[in-house]
Protein backbone atom coordinates (compact mmCIF):
# COMPACT_ATOMS: atom_id res chain seq x y z
CA UNK A 1 0.00 0.00 0.00
CA UNK A 2 1.45 3.38 -0.98
CA UNK A 3 2.00 5.95 1.71
CA UNK A 4 0.99 9.55 1.08
CA UNK A 5 3.91 12.02 0.74
CA UNK A 6 4.27 14.00 3.94
CA UNK A 7 5.93 17.42 3.71
CA UNK A 8 6.93 19.83 6.43
CA UNK A 9 5.52 23.35 6.35
CA UNK A 10 8.81 24.87 5.07
CA UNK A 11 9.14 22.30 2.29
CA UNK A 12 5.54 22.89 1.21
CA UNK A 13 6.12 26.64 0.98
CA UNK A 14 9.30 26.07 -1.05
CA UNK A 15 7.47 23.82 -3.52
CA UNK A 16 4.62 26.30 -3.89
CA UNK A 17 7.10 29.14 -4.47
CA UNK A 18 9.06 27.15 -7.08
CA UNK A 19 5.93 26.05 -8.94
CA UNK A 20 4.61 29.61 -8.92
CA UNK A 21 7.81 30.97 -10.52
CA UNK A 22 7.25 29.39 -13.91
CA UNK A 23 7.99 31.97 -16.62
CA UNK A 24 5.39 33.11 -19.10
CA UNK A 25 5.67 29.97 -21.20
CA UNK A 26 8.47 31.21 -23.46
CA UNK A 27 9.03 29.15 -26.61
CA UNK A 28 11.49 26.31 -26.07
CA UNK A 29 13.61 27.38 -29.05
CA UNK A 30 14.11 30.93 -27.73
CA UNK A 31 17.81 31.87 -27.69
CA UNK A 32 19.28 33.95 -24.90
CA UNK A 33 20.47 37.27 -26.33
CA UNK A 34 24.10 38.04 -25.51
CA UNK A 35 25.19 41.61 -24.85
CA UNK A 36 26.57 43.34 -27.92
CA UNK A 37 29.74 45.39 -28.11
CA UNK A 38 29.11 49.07 -27.92
CA UNK A 39 28.75 50.49 -31.41
CA UNK A 40 29.53 54.00 -30.26
CA UNK A 41 32.99 55.23 -29.30
CA UNK A 42 33.71 54.70 -25.61
CA UNK A 43 36.61 55.16 -23.19
CA UNK A 44 38.79 52.09 -22.58
CA UNK A 45 41.40 53.74 -20.28
CA UNK A 46 42.54 57.13 -18.99
CA UNK A 47 45.35 58.66 -16.98
CA UNK A 48 47.29 61.82 -16.24
CA UNK A 49 51.02 61.89 -17.03
CA UNK A 50 53.52 64.74 -17.40
CA UNK A 51 50.70 67.19 -16.67
CA UNK A 52 48.58 65.89 -19.57
CA UNK A 53 45.15 64.27 -19.35
CA UNK A 54 45.27 61.22 -21.65
CA UNK A 55 42.20 59.22 -22.68
CA UNK A 56 42.10 56.11 -24.88
CA UNK A 57 38.93 55.54 -26.89
CA UNK A 58 37.63 52.37 -28.51
CA UNK A 59 36.28 53.79 -31.76
CA UNK A 60 34.83 51.06 -33.99
CA UNK A 61 37.73 48.70 -33.21
CA UNK A 62 40.41 51.36 -33.51
CA UNK A 63 42.32 52.96 -30.64
CA UNK A 64 42.10 56.75 -30.56
CA UNK A 65 43.96 59.12 -28.24
CA UNK A 66 42.44 62.22 -26.67
CA UNK A 67 44.78 64.77 -25.08
CA UNK A 68 43.10 67.17 -22.67
CA UNK A 69 39.60 68.31 -23.58
CA UNK A 70 40.22 68.32 -27.34
CA UNK A 71 38.40 65.82 -29.52
CA UNK A 72 40.16 62.44 -29.86
CA UNK A 73 41.96 62.76 -33.20
CA UNK A 74 45.16 60.71 -32.93
CA UNK A 75 44.89 57.08 -34.07
CA UNK A 76 47.19 54.61 -32.35
CA UNK A 77 48.60 51.56 -34.15
CA UNK A 78 47.35 48.91 -31.64
CA UNK A 79 43.73 47.93 -32.17
CA UNK A 80 41.08 48.50 -29.49
CA UNK A 81 40.48 47.91 -26.75
CA UNK A 82 43.76 49.47 -25.72
CA UNK A 83 45.14 50.28 -22.30
CA UNK A 84 48.00 52.15 -20.65
CA UNK A 85 50.80 49.96 -19.29
CA UNK A 86 50.87 49.94 -15.49
CA UNK A 87 53.77 49.58 -13.09
CA UNK A 88 54.03 45.92 -12.03
CA UNK A 89 52.13 45.26 -8.81
CA UNK A 90 50.38 48.63 -8.97
CA UNK A 91 47.34 50.17 -10.59
CA UNK A 92 49.36 53.30 -11.47
CA UNK A 93 50.29 53.96 -15.08
CA UNK A 94 53.99 53.38 -15.72
CA UNK A 95 55.65 56.66 -16.73
CA UNK A 96 59.23 56.44 -17.99
CA UNK A 97 61.31 59.58 -17.64
CA UNK A 98 63.56 59.58 -20.72
CA UNK A 99 65.32 62.84 -19.89
CA UNK A 100 64.56 66.15 -18.15
CA UNK A 101 61.97 67.19 -20.74
CA UNK A 102 60.62 63.93 -22.14
CA UNK A 103 58.48 61.20 -20.58
CA UNK A 104 57.02 58.10 -22.21
CA UNK A 105 53.93 56.00 -21.48
CA UNK A 106 53.03 52.86 -23.38
CA UNK A 107 49.72 51.68 -24.86
CA UNK A 108 48.96 47.98 -25.32
CA UNK A 109 46.30 46.77 -27.72
CA UNK A 110 45.40 44.35 -30.52
CA UNK A 111 43.81 42.03 -27.95
CA UNK A 112 44.63 38.38 -27.31
CA UNK A 113 43.45 35.99 -24.62
CA UNK A 114 43.81 37.44 -21.16
CA UNK A 115 42.74 40.48 -19.26
CA UNK A 116 44.02 43.73 -20.79
CA UNK A 117 46.61 41.91 -22.92
CA UNK A 118 47.63 42.52 -26.52
CA UNK A 119 50.10 41.80 -29.33
CA UNK A 120 51.11 45.40 -30.04
CA UNK A 121 52.58 48.09 -27.81
CA UNK A 122 53.16 51.68 -28.92
CA UNK A 123 54.72 54.49 -26.92
CA UNK A 124 53.38 57.98 -26.34
CA UNK A 125 56.20 60.51 -26.14
CA UNK A 126 55.20 63.34 -23.80
CA UNK A 127 57.17 66.52 -24.36
CA UNK A 128 56.36 70.21 -24.23
CA UNK A 129 52.68 69.70 -23.45
CA UNK A 130 52.10 67.36 -26.40
CA UNK A 131 51.67 63.60 -26.76
CA UNK A 132 53.11 62.05 -29.91
CA UNK A 133 52.73 58.35 -30.82
CA UNK A 134 56.10 56.67 -31.31
CA UNK A 135 57.13 55.51 -34.76
CA UNK A 136 58.33 52.25 -33.20
CA UNK A 137 55.67 49.62 -32.35
CA UNK A 138 56.53 46.39 -30.54
CA UNK A 139 54.80 43.46 -32.25
CA UNK A 140 54.67 39.68 -31.96
CA UNK A 141 54.91 39.11 -28.21
CA UNK A 142 52.00 39.19 -25.79
CA UNK A 143 52.14 42.02 -23.25
CA UNK A 144 49.63 42.67 -20.46
CA UNK A 145 48.88 46.11 -19.07
CA UNK A 146 49.47 45.09 -15.46
CA UNK A 147 52.97 43.72 -16.13
CA UNK A 148 54.64 46.92 -17.31
CA UNK A 149 57.74 47.20 -19.51
CA UNK A 150 61.51 47.43 -19.02
CA UNK A 151 63.38 50.75 -19.32
CA UNK A 152 65.18 49.66 -22.52
CA UNK A 153 61.77 49.10 -24.16
CA UNK A 154 60.71 52.64 -23.29
CA UNK A 155 63.99 53.91 -24.77
CA UNK A 156 63.01 52.31 -28.10
CA UNK A 157 59.80 54.38 -28.12
CA UNK A 158 61.61 57.62 -27.29
CA UNK A 159 64.07 57.41 -30.22
pLDDT tens readout for residues 70-119? 888 899 999 999 999 999 988 899 999 999 999 999 999 999 877 899 99
Cα distance between residue 33 and residue 145, in whole Å: 31
How many residues are recorded in the chain? 159
Spatial contact of 135 and 159, defined as CB atoms under 8 Å apart: no
| pLDDT higher than threshold 50 for residue 16 | no
| pLDDT higher than threshold 80 for residue 24 | no
Mean pLDDT of all residues belonging to the chain: 83
- Averaged pLDDT, 34-53: 80
Amino acid sequence: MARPLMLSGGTTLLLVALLGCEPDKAPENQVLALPKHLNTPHVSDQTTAAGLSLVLWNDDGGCKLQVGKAKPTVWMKPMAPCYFMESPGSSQVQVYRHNKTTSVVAVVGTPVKGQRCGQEVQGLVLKGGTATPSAYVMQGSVHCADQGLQNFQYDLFAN
